[in-house]
Amino acid sequence: MGMEKFELGPSPPARGRRKKRERLEEMKRELELDDHKLDVKELELKYSTNASTGLSEAAAAERLLRDGRNELRPPRGTPGWARFGRQLAGGLQCLMWVAAVICLTAYGVQRGEGDRGSSDNLYLAVALIAVVVVTGCFGYYQEFKSTNIIASFRNLVPQQATVIRAGQTLQVNAAELVLGDLVEIKGGDRVPADIRILAAQGCKVDNSSLTGESEPQPRSPECSHESHLESRNIAFFSTMCLEGTATGLVISTGDRTVIGRIASLASGVENEKTPIAVEIEHFVDIIAGLAVLFGGTFFVVAMLIGYPLLRAVVFFMAIVVAYVPEGLLATVTVCLSLTAKRLARRNCVVKNLEAVETLGSTSVICSDKTGTLTQNRMTVAHLWFDGQVHTADTTEDQSGESFDQSSPSWALLSQVITLCNRAQFKPGQDSVPVAQRDVIGDASETALLKFAEVTSGPVAAARGRCPKIVELPFNSTNKFQVIMVTGDHPITAKAIAAAVGIISEGSETPEDVAARLRLPLEQVDPRQARARVVTGTELASMAPGTLEELLRTHPEMVFARTSPQQKLVIVESCQRLGAIVAVTGDGVNDSPALKKADIGVAMGIAGSDAAKNAADMILLDDNFASIVTGVEQGRLIFDNLKKSIAYTLTKNIPELTPYLIYITASVPLPLGCITILFIELCTDIFPSVSLAYERAESDIMHLKPRNPRRDRLVNEPLAAYSYFQIGAIQSFAGFTDYFVAMAQEGWWPLLVLGLRPRWEDAHLQDLQDSYGQEWTFAQRRYQQYTCYTVFFISIEMCQIADVLIRKTRRLSLFQQGPFRNRTLVVAIVFQVCIGCFLCYCPGMPNIFNFMPIRFQWWLVPMPFGLLILIYDEIRKLGVRRHPGSWWDRELYY
Amino acid sequence: MSKDTKKPFRQSMAEWRQFIYNPNSGEFLGRTAKSWGLILLFYLVFYGFLAALFTFTMWVMLQTLSSDIPKYRDRISSPGLMISPKPDTALEFYFNRSDSQSYSEYVTTLQNFLESYNDSKQSQNIECTPGKIFDQSDAAVKKACRFNISDLGQCSGKEDANFGYSKGTPCVLVKMNRVIGLKPEGEPHIQCTPKEEGVVNINYFPPNGAMDLMYFPYYGKSLHAHYLQPLVAVQLAITPNGTKEEIAIECKILGSPNLKNQDDRDKFLGRIAFKVLMSE
């Protein structure tokens, strides 16, 4: 939470006796709170403000400096060391700890037996502990960063408050509110501070965040209760205003608000793991379980063959280390956060990372029309009075023809438009043309305001003549005000839907079919129509199940004039049909549906706080196209994660087989544990992350959305293809290179088989090779390190081929462009550089068991890399040519 | 975002059983017999191909190798030292000079070791010019130089069949590991030093523990089948002070600049340390 630490907390943390005294004072202050009982005069006096014009800017700035920002101090979460500790004690980490302890024990026992030669087990123990600590640090850093991202999102979407200062109505950041500020709230807003209501029209608030009761509570200027907590004339910070409007005086800000004092409420903010992380962790656990099972089997086998217990235990541990994909979790986290960042650049703020992936599997988008599809800009186009429709001038510069303005009805209507309207121009725009002025208010009222300003002169003056006495506010249940302009009629809704492509060209509604066939509507089979428009009234009278039936039959549906409950019903019906539903919306009335949806998308500019709160994703620029970007990115990350995981899993086989061959064929060990850890956590991390930058294969938007219950991230073909095919080729590459390196140094393959007991005999200082030369134990050990390095390089070379084939799952590598993903190219180069460094940096043999190997041993695995490339091209060709065939089913992952 | 619903245990057990064998579809572990057959056939072909490829690569690789000289000698630039007899566990000799049973194993090992140095076995070996590297790289057939076992004096086994173990003057043979093409420079000789002074007197056979250059270089076991590496016998005359306590002795090869004897990581490169405990 780095960013917020810099904010000055209003009350600095204190300890001991000082803290106690402070708390006592705080309690006293609470008792003294009597703002709800004071009348306006007394309040003005107490907060030295003006109840009609508000504070002056200077006074506000001064108070802001004095009291600090109107924000809750971030709760003191779990202390850092505890979170770090948790990182060190995961399932996998525990396994590693056990392994390290086994190593240390082995080392101790060997020391006890007087074997001074081998410190390998000690090094391995140290390396394992280092791995746990390093991955722990990485995880901690990731968690820390994601907390930071969430914190910065909070800043990206600042809460706005409407405040009156020096008589001007302004929009300010809610954090800049100070005591005595005069604020206005309306339906959909979050109450920006604790306020004493001075005037209210049908204002209702949802205090559920404070009291847990979700029943809307009316708010009015009267004091209704002794306790300020119960009194109707106080609205609390962070509660929601559901409907109506109110004007109030800020009586406390930041941590001194009621909600700020309920510390427990604020500290409950825990960073929850996203389901995708859970799925990955679950997967790693399965792998770890398999590893233990596998290791256990070989432990038993080793014991039966006659290895001493200690050796068998070390084998067991080595197999576990080889089989567990240590770098996987890190890769996945990095991939997800990369995508979230990429989305944020395109003005999609993702509140939880997992939502990115969910977006991709979205199969139904329920979009709220207003403000989402349209720009949420409205213009008065037609008027209806005297039983006649009049056309208004819709051109920006009023050059078009106007209607007859002489009718008395028009005079009345114009007055209504002018006065029954809460919208107002932002101050200081007198020189700007009316059509382009910024307005505070919702879209329909803005349209009316501008219309009035143009047709009948300055609105402000007219309003000055007729001050507001009472307001009957607009809400979604008594929508009587502006039907004529919202165009919320089924026909309009259909027209808009057709215009933005929800009803695609060529699709017909039953009404269209009826018109085409010249039949009465009742005789038309609705199944003939692709599209359908359903109104809220129709919906209300439908029998249960009919809606599902309709959703099934018509892929394109438009619902007009629905209530919040009906929106919820629509979402639920879609979900019952097995769809993953994304809902877009901006209003308070959308928030239940947003919450219910698998992924809720709120509009950043037009969206109310309620909608933003309920949503998983926020479109900062209110651009519907961003959702499409989001879906695309979601599908992309799913695809790329799959590729990354496939890449990461592949090398577990060439890491595992050396042990199996070592135990069964008694060859000198081809690959050491420390080397494996270097592959897992050093060289292969970069390419696997770089796959997150891979472009989409073909047009992913044309594919059907995935079914998250069936199309898992890691499926059987993926595991089989990675483990048993590519992994197998890599193992063969490693062993080829191993036998080549051994043979060229004097140990022929047939001698190598069964050589292990003599090779590892520390007392045998003159072991003969195939040419009759005699080797000391240390010389043999360096030869063994050479083998490790050679095997390591083989895996690296094959992994380069692997990362190239993973770029695509279906397309040919050349259709995708082998070098178009620059990050991947850089990652490969970097990987090779690390490989070179490990091999040729002086001192490596004795620290990490890497030897400077001959250049031609780099070349040996390359044909196998080529084989991987060719084989995968053949696989992809088969998959493309014969969709649905046996080949496609078994080999497409 | 599917909500997790905990399945009852019995249901999940039933699902497992269904997975292992599904009587309705005849699926065993999620596949029908035909499906299993196809996939196994596929893997049979796949691995068959890989194995063939591997075998072919190995064959090609072996074709490129000479059977006489290894392609590289990166790890064995300098030879190690070894002794004979070599006790089973560590390099520690424990014996009682009056109990022949206690050293019979050493004696047998020495006898076996020197078997190949018998004159009868060396009939094909030629007499070489002492003090000179015997370079025969041009010769098609590499000759081996004769190593006269009598050069080992009291340790040859001729004069004392017990190699001095019964007299309190045990013999230990020091040999240098064979490394193809190694040509020592200077005048290599073995020198042994006990950790404590005055517990043991050391005699060398041949004198000074010299290793003659004429035995080098070695041409490998196929070209140089009869090659015998030079030996240095170290006779430890243990003084009465030295009995009943362990004597630590380190032998090193000295006098040759290209033979390492000080490597930190390899305690046997050009040197060897062993312990002797003799009781009476």
Mutate to test the interface with A, among B73, B75, B264 (most CBs of A within 10 A): B75
Q: How many CB pairs under 8 A join A and B?
A: 132
Residue A766 touches partner B, C-beta closer than 8 Å: yes
Chain B: nearest CA to A50, how far in angstroms?
51
The chain A residue lying nearest B90, using CA atoms, is A763
Determine which helix (DSSP H) or strand (DSSP E) holds A582, and give its type and residue range: strand A581-585
- Check the CA dihedral A850-A855-A861-A867 and report its sign: positive
Residue-wise pLDDT for A73-131, tens only, equals 655 556 677 778 877 777 677 777 887 888 888 888 878 776 554 667 787 788 778 87
Average pLDDT over residues B28-50: 90
How sure is the predictor about A443, in pLDDT bands with cuts at 50, 70 and 90? low
Which of A282-286, A506-510, A662-666, B271-275 is the least confident region? A506-510
The chain A residue lying nearest B76, using CA atoms, is A779
Q: Which of A204, A216, A209 is nearest to A246 (CA)?
A: A204
Contact criterion met (CB < 8 Å) for B268 and A778: yes
Which DSSP state fits A189? P
Q: Which residue has the higher pLDDT, A18 or B49?
A: B49
Q: Flag whether pLDDT at A804 surpasses 80.
A: yes
Contact criterion met (CB < 8 Å) for A739 and B58: yes
- Tell me which amino acid residue A779 is: Q
Contact criterion met (CB < 8 Å) for A778 and B263: yes
Residue-wise pLDDT for A717-764, tens only, equals 888 999 999 999 999 999 999 999 999 999 999 999 999 989 988 888
Which pair of structure tokens corresponds to residue A185? 């709230």
Which chain A residues touch B50 with a CB distance below 8 Å? 728-729, 732
The chain A residue lying nearest B64, using CA atoms, is A744
Query: Of chain A residues 22-81, which have a CB less than 8 A from chain B?
Result: none
Average pLDDT over residues B16-41: 84
Contact criterion met (CB < 8 Å) for B89 and A779: no
Determine what percent of chain A is predicted with pLDDT higher than 70.
Answer: 75
Q: Which of A204-208, A680-684, B241-245 has the highest mean pLDDT?
A: A680-684
Q: Flag whether pLDDT at B107 surpasses 70.
A: yes
- Check the CA dihedral B240-B241-B244-B246 and report its sign: negative
Contact criterion met (CB < 8 Å) for B180 and A773: yes
- Check the CA dihedral A421-A425-A427-A430 and report its sign: negative
How sure is the predictor about A9, in pLDDT bands with cuts at 50, 70 and 90? very low
Contact criterion met (CB < 8 Å) for B76 and A773: yes
Average pLDDT over residues B43-63: 94
Query: Of chain A residues 582-621, which have a CB less than 8 A from chain B?
Result: 598-599
How sure is the predictor about A16, in pLDDT bands with cuts at 50, 70 and 90? very low
How sure is the predictor about A877, in pLDDT bands with cuts at 50, 70 and 90? very high
Which chain B residues touch A769 with a CB distance below 8 Å? 70
Residue-wise pLDDT for B71-105, tens only, equals 998 888 899 999 988 887 678 888 888 888 888 88
Q: Flag whether pLDDT at A502 surpasses 80.
A: no
- Alpha carbons within 13 A on the beta-carbon side of A388: 10
Which of A266-270, A343-347, A627-631, A671-675 is the least confident region? A266-270
Which pair of structure tokens corresponds to residue A180? 């005595």
How sure is the predictor about A861, in pLDDT bands with cuts at 50, 70 and 90? very high
Q: Flag whether pLDDT at A19 surpasses 60.
A: no
Q: Which residue in B46, B179, B272 is closest to A773 by CB distance?
A: B179
For residue A315, the model assigns a pLDDT of 77
Q: Flag whether pLDDT at A203 surpasses 50.
A: yes
For residue A3, the model assigns a pLDDT of 34
Question: Which 3-state string (H, E, C) describes A399-417?
Answer: CCCCCCCCCHHHHHHHHHH
Contact criterion met (CB < 8 Å) for A749 and B57: no
Mean pLDDT of chain B: 87
Residue-wise pLDDT for A354-406, tens only, equals 666 677 777 777 777 654 455 556 677 777 777 777 777 666 566 656 677 77
Which active-site residues of A does the annotation give?
Answer: 368
Which pair of structure tokens corresponds to residue B47? 């691995």
Q: Which residue in B65, B89, B263 is closest to A744 by CB distance?
A: B65
For residue A158, the model assigns a pLDDT of 61
Q: Which residue has the higher pLDDT, A241 or A477?
A: A241
Q: Which residue has the higher pLDDT, A472 or B180?
A: B180
d(CA A857, CA A802) in angstroms, rounded, equals 19
- Check the CA dihedral A213-A215-A218-A224 and report its sign: negative
Q: Flag whether pLDDT at B170 surpasses 60.
A: yes
Average pLDDT over residues A338-359: 74
Residue-wise pLDDT for A311-324, tens only, equals 788 778 778 777 77
For residue A266, the model assigns a pLDDT of 37
Q: Which of A80-89, A433-442, A468-477, A655-664 has the highest mean pLDDT?
A: A655-664
Q: Which residue in B61, B91, B224 is closest to A740 by CB distance?
A: B61
Residue-wise pLDDT for A657-676, tens only, equals 998 899 889 999 999 888 88
Query: How many other CB atoms are found less than 10 A from the CB of residue A133?
Result: 15
How sure is the predictor about A8, in pLDDT bands with cuts at 50, 70 and 90? very low
Q: Which of A118, A141, A140, A121 is nearest to A129 (CA)?
A: A121
Which chain B residues touch A846 with a CB distance below 8 Å? 265
d(CA A105, CA A310) in angstroms, rounded, equals 9
Task: Catalogue the long-range contacts made by B258-263 (C-beta closer than 8 Å, 24 or more residues apart).
Answer: B258/B78, B258/B183, B258/B184, B258/B185, B259/B78, B259/B79, B259/B184, B259/B188, B260/B78, B263/A778, B263/B78
For residue A133, the model assigns a pLDDT of 84
Q: Which residue in B71, B80, B224 is closest to A766 by CB distance?
A: B80
How is A435-470 classified by DSSP, letter by letter?
GG--EES-HHHHHHHHHHHHHHS-HHHHHHHS----
Q: Which residue has the higher pLDDT, A214 or B10?
A: B10
Those residues with Cβ within 8 angstroms of residue A465's Cβ, 6 or more apart along the chain or in another chain: none
Contact criterion met (CB < 8 Å) for A743 and B65: yes
Q: Which of A172-186, A196-210, B14-28 has the highest mean pLDDT?
A: A172-186
Mutate to test the interface with A, among B29, B44, B57 (most CBs of A within 10 A): B57
d(CA B239, CA B247) in angstroms, rounded, equals 11
Mutate to test the interface with B, among A363, A596, A771 (most CBs of B within 10 A): A771
Q: Flag whether pLDDT at A769 surpasses 50.
A: yes
Q: Which residue has the higher pLDDT, A229 or B262?
A: B262
For residue A843, the model assigns a pLDDT of 87
Contact criterion met (CB < 8 Å) for B266 and A779: yes
Contact criterion met (CB < 8 Å) for B65 and A772: no
Chain B: nearest CA to A680, how far in angstroms?
25
Q: Which residue in A354, A763, A776 is closest to B90 by CB distance?
A: A763
Which of A220-229, A507-516, A775-784, B10-19 is the least confident region? A507-516
Which of A146-150, A601-605, B86-90 is the least confident region? A146-150
How sure is the predictor about A471, in pLDDT bands with cuts at 50, 70 and 90? low
Average pLDDT over residues B258-279: 89
Residue A772 touches partner B, C-beta closer than 8 Å: yes
Chain A: nearest CA to B125, how far in angstroms?
18
Which chain A residues touch B68 with a CB distance below 8 Å? 771
Which chain A residues touch B218 with a CB distance below 8 Å? 772-773
Question: Do A446 and A459 touch, CB atoms closer than 8 A?
Answer: no
Which pair of structure tokens corresponds to residue A678? 């270097």
How sure is the predictor about A587, in pLDDT bands with cuts at 50, 70 and 90? low
Which pair of structure tokens corresponds to residue A265? 């409420």
- List the B171-176 sheet strands across, edge first: B81-84, B171-176, B231-238, B200-205
Q: Flag whether pLDDT at A6 surpasses 80.
A: no
B1 CB burial (10 A radius; 0-12, 13-18, 19+):
middle
Q: Flag whether pLDDT at A483 surpasses 50.
A: no
Which chain B residues touch A599 with a CB distance below 8 Å? 1
For residue A268, the model assigns a pLDDT of 36
d(CA B174, CA B191) in angstroms, rounded, equals 10
Which pair of structure tokens corresponds to residue A855? 């250049």
Q: Flag whether pLDDT at B145 surpasses 70.
A: yes
Alpha helices (H) along A510-651: 510-517, 536-540, 546-553, 564-576, 591-596, 609-614, 624-650
Q: Flag whether pLDDT at A487 surpasses 50.
A: no
Contact criterion met (CB < 8 Å) for B179 and A732: no
For residue A402, the model assigns a pLDDT of 66
Which chain B residues touch A744 with a CB distance below 8 Å? 65, 70-72
Mean pLDDT of chain A: 77
How sure is the predictor about A500, in pLDDT bands with cuts at 50, 70 and 90? low
Determine which helix (DSSP H) or strand (DSSP E) holds A194, and give its type and residue range: strand A194-206
Average pLDDT over residues A161-173: 85
Q: Which of A449, A432, A563, A558 is nearest to A502 (CA)?
A: A558
Question: Do A491 and A261 touch, CB atoms closer than 8 A?
Answer: no
Q: Which of A395, A271, A384, A380 is nearest to A333 (CA)?
A: A271
The chain B residue lying nearest A762, using CA atoms, is B90
Those residues with Cβ within 8 angstroms of residue B87's Cβ, 6 or more apart along the chain or in another chain: B93, B94, B106
Residue-wise pLDDT for A806-818, tens only, equals 999 888 989 888 8
Chain B: nearest CA to A741, how far in angstroms?
9
Chain A: nearest CA to B193, how far in angstroms?
20
The chain A residue lying nearest B1, using CA atoms, is A598
